[in-house]
Amino acid sequence: MEITIQETVFFILAAVIVGCSILSVVTRRILRAATYLLFVLFATAGIYFQLNYSFLGAVQLTVYAGGIIVLYVFSILLTSTDVKMRAAKLKNSKLFAGLVASLAGAAICVLITVTHSFGSYHLKGGELHVNDIGQALMGTGRYQYLLPFELISVLLLACIVGGILIARKR
Amino acid sequence: MEIRLEYYLIISTIMLFAGIYGFITRRNLLAVLISVELMLNSVDINFAAFNRYLFPDAMEGFFFALFAIGVSAAETAVAIAITINIYRNIRNIQVHHLDTMKH
C-alpha cells in the first residue's frame, strides 16, 4: 500500500481543518479564534483545489480569507473584547450540556455516514472550465443560473445599504 | 488506498458540530458569529464533495456552494455592523448584557 501525493495533501488538509476548527471554538481569546478560523478557511480552499474546483477555491480565498476575516479582525479590535473575554466565565453545567449535545450529534452523523452506502461512484478527474461556469452563470435555460445570480446582486446591494444605515453616525 | 467520499463528509461533520458547540457555549457575539461561519463553511464542503463524487457531470453543488459563500459574506457584513452598533450603544457585546430590549 503506497500513499500518493494526492492523499498526503488530503490528509494534511483534513488534520488542519479538524484541529483548527476545534481549537477555534475552545480557545478563550477571540483574536486567536479568528486566526484559527482563517486557517480552517485556507484548508477548505485547499480541499476545493484538491477536488479540482479551482474557481470555487479562488472565490473562497478572496471572499472569506481576504474579506470576512479582515472584517472580523477589525471588529474584534474595535470592540476590544479580547481583554474582557476571559472575565466572562460560563457555568460548568452549560458547558457540559453543549459538549454532550455536540458530541452525540457528531457521533450519530458519523455513524450514519459510515454505514450508508452511496452506491458506486468514480472520481472523474479534470478541471471544471471557467468558460462552462460563465455560460451556466449567465444563461437563462435549464440548469443555468442567471436568476439566482441577479438575486445575489440585489441581496448584496441591500446589504450595503443596510450596513451603511446601521453603522453610520447619527 | 483512495480518498473516499465519506472522508469529506466526516471532516465536514466534525466542523459543523464544532460550530454548534461554539454557538451554544460562547458568550461573545463575535465568537458566536465565528461559529456560524464554521457551520456555513462545512455545508459548502458537502456540496462540493457530493457534486464531484456522485454527479461529476452536473454543476448544481458547485453553484450552491458559490451562492452560499456570497450569502454568508452578506450576512457577516450586516451582523458585524449590528455588533459594532451595539458596542457603540452599551459598550459591551457579551450576550448576557444584551437585555435592554427585554421587558
**Average of per-residue pLDDT across A112-118:** 87
Does a structural domain hold residue B48? yes
* Chain B positions in Cβ-Cβ contact with residue A67 (cut-off 8 Å): 73
Contacts of A31 (CB under 8 A, 6+ apart): A73, A76, A77, A82
Taking Cα atoms as reference points, which of B10, B7, B100, B44 lies closest to residue A44? Answer: B44
Does a structural domain hold residue B60? yes
CATH code of residue B63: 1.10.287.3510
Domain of residue B76 covers 5-97
Write down the mean pLDDT value for chain B. Answer: 88
The pTM of this model reads: 0.89
Q: How confident is the model at residue A102 (pLDDT cuts 50, 70, 90)?
A: very high
The complex scores an ipTM of: 0.91
Which pLDDT score is estimated for A151? 92
Q: What is the pLDDT of residues A67-93, one digit of tens each?
A: 899 999 999 998 876 565 554 566 788
User: Cell triple for residue A66?
Assistant: 481576504
A–B CB contacts, 8 A cutoff, strictly below: 209
The DSSP secondary structure of chain A, one letter per residue, reads ----HHHHHHHHHHHHHHHHHHHHHH-S-HHHHHHHHHHHHHHHHHHHHHTT-HHHHHHIIIIIIIIIHHHHHHHHHHHTHHHHGGG----HHHHHHHHHHHHHHHHHHHHHHHHS---------SPPPHHHHHHHHH--STT--HHHHHHHHHHHHHHHHHHHHHHS--
**Average of per-residue pLDDT across B88-92:** 82
Type of residue at A30: I
Residue A53 Cα, gap to closest chain B Cα (Å)? 8
3-state SS assignment for residue B94: strand
Q: For A29, which residue in chain B has the nearest alpha carbon? A: B31
Between A116 and B16, residue with greater pLDDT: B16
Between A133 and A125, residue with greater pLDDT: A133
**Average of per-residue pLDDT across A109-114:** 92
Least confident of A75-79, A89-93, B16-20, B38-42: A89-93
Selecting from A21, A30, A60 the residue whose C-beta is nearest the C-beta of B18 gives A21
Domain count within chain B: 1
Which pLDDT score is estimated for B58? 83
The Cβ-side half-sphere exposure at A161, using a 13 Å CA radius, reads: 6
